[in-house]
Amino acid sequence: MAGTTRAPREPLTRERIIDAAVAVADEAGLAGVSMRSVGRQLGVEAMSLYHHISGKEQLLDELADWVFARFRAPGLDDGWREGTRARAVSMREVLSAHPWGLGLVESRRAAGESTLAFHDAVLGNLRRGGLGVTLAAHAFSLVDAYVYGFVLTEQRLPIAPGESVEAYTEELAIAAERYPHMTEMVQTMIAGRDYSYGDEFEVGLELILDALEARHAAEARGGA
């Protein structure tokens, strides 16, 4: 009787290792990522990974680059405002879907190809839009700080999944006589409304874009 033929194991590649590391990070957070845990995810010994990845530091570099590869970089035909808005929205979506990414972006010394390409595309979009080198750098930094800060705040909000902001504020039972301005804000924006903190993202982003556009116009007038 012929023996059972075992299906050949899928060859180990750098891409498979990174995808496995993403799966581990999604499940256990960045602290759960190690050569051993990624090896378990792939069903191989950790030592097998070293033929493709030099160690955990390179693995983290690759994860950071994986995140940047999923951000929407501005296209050549995008206006600077359109490109900035689209990339900010994309960054928030990616970092919200993979919260561990927030601890990696802008923190790795060995920047990968996707990371460098994204940064160059963003600066190129701003420069093509007429922003000077200095204002483009300021705009890049400002928007990144806003996105990262907003995502971090969203991740830390003490509101349970499915819980409304109104229910949370009712639980706080803010005393109107002691905190009149907070009470005013709750009554104006939250009470009786389908309010979501996430809606603030677009509002804040437009305020930033308006300010950058005003600064850009002022610099253009000054240089005329």
DSSP 98: S
pTM of structure: 0.87
- Residue 52, judged by CB atoms within 10 A of its CB (0-12, 13-18, 19+), counts as middle
154 located within any domain: no
111 located within any domain: no
217 located within any domain: no
141 located within any domain: no
Nearest to 111 by CA among 60, 149, 73: 60
User: pLDDT 10s digit of each residue in the chain, 224 long?
Assistant: 455 555 556 889 999 999 999 999 999 999 999 999 999 999 999 999 999 999 999 999 999 999 999 999 999 999 999 999 999 999 999 999 999 999 999 888 899 999 999 999 999 999 999 999 999 999 999 999 999 999 999 998 887 777 777 777 777 677 777 878 878 887 887 777 777 888 899 999 999 999 999 999 998 888 64
Domain ranges, residue 44: 10-53
Count of domains in the chain? Answer: 1
Neighbours of 34 (CB within 10 A): 15
42 located within any domain: yes
- Residue 44 maps to which CATH number? 1.10.10.60
* Dist CA 23 CA 18 (whole Å): 9
Nearest to 208 by CA among 109, 85, 106, 89: 85
Q: What are the b/e assignments for 114-128, b being 16+ CB within 10 Å?
A: bbeebbebbbbbbeb
22 located within any domain: yes
17 located within any domain: yes
29 located within any domain: yes
Nearest to 103 by CA among 54, 155, 53: 155
- Residue 55, judged by CB atoms within 10 A of its CB (0-12, 13-18, 19+), counts as exposed
Is 219 in contact with 135 (CB distance < 8 Å)? yes
CA distances from 73 to 17, 86, 120, 190 (A): 25, 8, 9, 34
Tokens of 79: 């206006």
